[in-house]
Amino acid sequence: MFNKKSQQRNRCQLYGGQGKKGYDWWWHSFTAYNAKTGEPRPFFLEFFLINPKRGGEEPVFGQLKENQEAGIKPSYLMVKIGYWGKGAKQLHRFFGWKKIKVNYKAPFSISADDCYLDEYQSRGNVSISKEESEKHPEYMCDYGSISWDLKIEKDIAFNVGYGAGWLFRHLQLFEMFWHAEGMKSRFSGTIIADGEEYIVRKEDSYGYSDKNWGKDFTSPWVWLSSNNMVSNITNKKLENSVFDIGGGRPKVGFIALEGKLLSAFYYEGKCYEFNFSKFWTNTRTKFDCYETDTHIVWHVEQKTWNNKMITDITCLKEDMLLVNYEAPNGKKLHNRLFNGGNGVGRIQLFHKGKLIDDINVYNVGCEYGEYGLPTISYKKR
């Protein structure tokens, strides 16, 4: 049973050695609607913390040449907000650690100036001019202005477990950890994006909330999730369903685990999990992820003793962006990490060889990238 909420997992994990060589972020994605035209627009919002024990009054950027030459590591809160589709963009606002307040206990909260996030709400503003964006490549972002005021309700969780649970997290045995407190979430509120007002409604926000933390990022990097689904068998919308897939090449210490994805499908109240760390389920995975001239394509097949899920997703590259992060060591190795919210596709779910449902999925949050490649060509079978 993966639908186990845990505000302990969802709180800030940058304790001990992670304070000097760690990151922790809270990611949110959802659909909003233009107040004038009703046109849907998928948005994302993230609060990203890195290396608090290396911080000071002002943010420290690892991408600055002088910091790289001096071995100075990044330290800041980065508030990231943006949208996908035509004109997709990501905006970043940075704060030095002496200007940030973090509640490390559960439930967490983060505040800096007028930017705020906790389990239930977020508000703030990010504004950067074209001149600033061009003058400061270390900001790793586009230009524009977005403000928001949102409520968050997290309905269904994906608690991945990692077998040894607390011990694995306490010893930081994995290089990158993942917890989805609200893989199905409902958002409500308003957004002002470059002068346009957008309304966010609980009933059709198709929201998602998770977090990652650790020392570095996985490569390849895979993420797929949606709760906007229609059965091809009954032609009815699945109102109580969501799927979530993530991972790629996790590391335990210095050992890399090739071709490992963690997946969950909450199908109309019943849990189907494909989790390699739960070895007794005999989870087997194969996946292909690649780039064409126009699309990013994902094909994932997973099996346990009793269940099977086949997932096929595509997303137009013109609707996506290359999302930017630097690691706690100051390196930026993911330079072609495609990130989108307009994916579409199909899922087939089986139990003991029998087809349970054949499903069309929409508003898919999706990501794929790999270190060091000019194009994405990784395939795992």
Range name among 117-131, 248-262, 303-317 with the lowest pLDDT average = 248-262
Residues 6+ apart with CB under 8 A from 239: none
Average pLDDT rounded to a whole number, residues 352-379: 81
For residue 180, CA distances in Å to 32, 70, 379 come to 21, 37, 26
What pLDDT score was predicted for residue 15? 86
What pLDDT score was predicted for residue 219? 80
pLDDT digits (tens, 9 = 90+) for 118-157: 999 999 999 999 999 999 999 999 999 999 999 999 999 9
Q: Is residue 124 part of a domain?
A: yes
The CATH number given to whatever domain includes residue 296 is 2.40.370.10
Q: Is residue 179 part of a domain?
A: yes
Q: Please determine, for residue 74, whether its predicted confidence score (pLDDT) is greater than 60.
A: yes
Q: Is residue 163 part of a domain?
A: yes
Average pLDDT rounded to a whole number, residues 84-88: 96
Count of domains forming the chain: 1
Contact 326, 74 (CB under 8 A): yes
The runs of H, that is alpha helices, within 109-190 are 130-135, 166-171
What pLDDT score was predicted for residue 17? 82
Q: Which helix (H) or strand (E) holds 196?
A: strand 196-200
Q: How far apart are the first and last CA of the chain?
A: 27
Q: Is residue 2 part of a domain?
A: no
pLDDT digits (tens, 9 = 90+) for 150-201: 999 999 999 987 643 444 445 455 578 999 999 999 999 999 999 999 999 9
pLDDT digits (tens, 9 = 90+) for 5-28: 999 999 999 988 889 999 999 999
Written as one letter, the residue type at 255 is I
Average pLDDT rounded to a whole number, residues 216-228: 92
Q: Is residue 1 part of a domain?
A: no
The boundaries of the domain holding residue 52 are 7-380
What pLDDT score was predicted for residue 377? 36
Share of the chain above pLDDT 90, in %: 84
Mean pLDDT, the chain, as a whole number? 92
Q: Please determine, for residue 65, whether its predicted confidence score (pLDDT) is greater than 80.
A: yes
Q: What is the pTM of this model?
A: 0.94
What pLDDT score was predicted for residue 174? 56
Closest CA to 223 of 239, 235, 236, 208: 208
- In the block, tokens 């477990």 appear at 161
Q: Is residue 235 part of a domain?
A: yes
Q: Is residue 86 part of a domain?
A: yes
More confident residue, 176 or 322: 322
Average pLDDT rounded to a whole number, residues 81-92: 97
Question: How many residues can be counted in the chain?
Answer: 381
pLDDT digits (tens, 9 = 90+) for 229-240: 999 999 999 999
Contact 283, 308 (CB under 8 A): no
Q: Is residue 310 part of a domain?
A: yes
